[in-house]
């Protein structure tokens, strides 16, 4: 799934939450990235 900006959902979440908080590493929201794609289709 791509946002209107053309970025992937995870990239948007990383920009919104991970980078401002200076958190390094993978974003984990309790759902594997592949499952997010499956749920959104």
* pTM for the model: 0.32
Which residues make beta-bridge pairs with 2?
A: 8
30: alpha, beta or left, given left = phi > 0 and alpha = psi -120 to 50? left
Phi and psi at residue 8, in whole multiples of 5°? Answer: -70, 155
* pLDDT (average), residues 22-27: 56
Task: Give me the percent of the chain exceeding a pLDDT of 90.
Answer: 0
Q: Are 7 and 16 contacting, i.e. CB atoms less than 8 angstroms apart?
A: no
Q: Is a pLDDT exceeding 70 seen at residue 11?
A: yes
| Between 23 and 15, the higher pLDDT residue | 15
Give the chain as a 3 state SS string: CECCCCCEHHHHHHHHHHCCCCCCCCCCCCCCHHHHHHHHC
């Amino acid at each position: 799934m791509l946002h209107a900006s053309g970025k992937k959902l995870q990239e948007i979440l990383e920009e919104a939450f991970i980078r401002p908080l200076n958190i390094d590493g993978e974003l984990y929201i309790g759902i594997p990235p592949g499952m997010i794609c499956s749920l959104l289709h």
